[in-house]
């Protein structure tokens, strides 16, 4: 049997060869299950005040019901395991946070709810960049023994996986999106400062239909705001600013 250090290096070599986020996610999920004993993982850019959690997720293998509950309850802004990101630059386990912080009742409720979905322990690796980028990988599962060796493996693999997936997403965003004529029309009017209702009146479309075209353009560019979509459409020659 290969030592964990060799398996970690082999895994990193595998990650280097993949060319899509789905493959990276599947590889990491398998590695965590087989070598660490954790059952799920989240990789994301920490959302700012204008972004939703769903819009900044790179991949997520948490239980679907838990994810729906977490997003609906807006737990990311109250989760003590997320708040710890703003108190340390170092990776940490959920047990570390419970041991060193006096958590409020609402904080403990989030931890207890996670446990009800089989997540008793987790390990969070913050990812910071000089340009202000702030991301993380959080792996979780049942009661896992997190030795110094295991923590080192989790930190190293998380950094490589996050970097790989973030680069894949940036490359996707930099590609020229194929916008439909209606999407282009709507973005042109967005660039002129028109609301969905006004655009609908101009194009003889419903406000909801206009919003759908704009949201579709945002998805194609993998962005979270209309301004970002307009700027990228201008870059690609669809819109003149």
CA–CA gap between residue 191 and residue 176 (Å, rounded): 18
Q: What is the pTM of this model?
A: 0.74
DSSP 103-146: --HHHHHHHHHHHHTT--EEEEEEEE-TTS-EEEEEEEESS---
DSSP 80-91: HHHHGGGT-SS-
Based on the domain organization, do 147 and 65 belong to the same domain?
yes
Q: Which domain holds residue 145?
A: 4-174
Based on the domain organization, do 161 and 229 belong to the same domain?
no
Based on the domain organization, do 92 and 155 belong to the same domain?
yes
- HSE-CB of 191 using CA atoms within 13 angstroms: 17
The domain that holds 31 is classified in CATH as: 3.30.450.80
What string of pLDDT tens digits covers the 241 residues of the chain? Answer: 679 999 999 999 999 999 988 899 999 999 999 999 999 999 998 877 767 666 678 899 999 999 889 888 888 878 999 999 989 999 999 999 999 999 999 999 999 999 999 999 999 999 987 777 889 999 999 989 999 999 999 999 999 999 999 888 877 766 778 899 999 999 999 999 999 999 999 999 999 999 999 998 988 887 778 988 899 899 889 998 8
Q: Which two tokens stand for residue 10?
A: 């082999």
Number of structural domains (the chain) is: 2
Q: Which two tokens stand for residue 91?
A: 């990776």
Based on the domain organization, do 170 and 208 belong to the same domain?
no
């Amino acid at each position: 049997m290969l030592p964990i250090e060799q398996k970690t290096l082999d895994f990193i070599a595998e990650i280097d060869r993949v060319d899509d986020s789905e493959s990276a996610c599947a590889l990491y999920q398998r590695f965590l299950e087989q070598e660490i004993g954790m059952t799920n993982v989240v990789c994301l850019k920490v959302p700012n005040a204008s972004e939703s959690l769903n819009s900044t997720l790179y991949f997520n293998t948490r239980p679907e019901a838990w994810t729906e509950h977490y997003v609906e309850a807006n737990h990311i802004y109250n989760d003590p395991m997320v708040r710890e990101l703003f108190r340390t630059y170092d990776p940490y386990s959920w047990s570390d946070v419970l041991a060193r912080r006096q958590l409020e009742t609402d904080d403990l409720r989030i931890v207890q709810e996670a446990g009800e979905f089989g997540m008793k322990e987790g390990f969070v690796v913050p990812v910071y960049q000089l340009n202000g980028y702030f991301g993380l990988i959080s792996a979780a599962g049942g009661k896992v023994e997190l030795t110094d060796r295991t923590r080192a493996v989790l930190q190293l693999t998380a950094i490589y996986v996050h970097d790989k997936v973030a680069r894949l997403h940036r490359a996707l965003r930099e590609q020229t999106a194929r916008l439909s004529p209606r999407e282009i029309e709507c973005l042109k009017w967005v660039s002129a400062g028109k609301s969905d209702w006004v655009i609908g009146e101009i194009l003889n479309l419903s406000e909801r239909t206009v919003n759908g075209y704009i949201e579709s353009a945002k998805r194609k560019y993998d962005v979270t705001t209309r301004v970002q979509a307009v700027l990228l459409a201008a870059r690609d020659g669809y819109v003149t600013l």
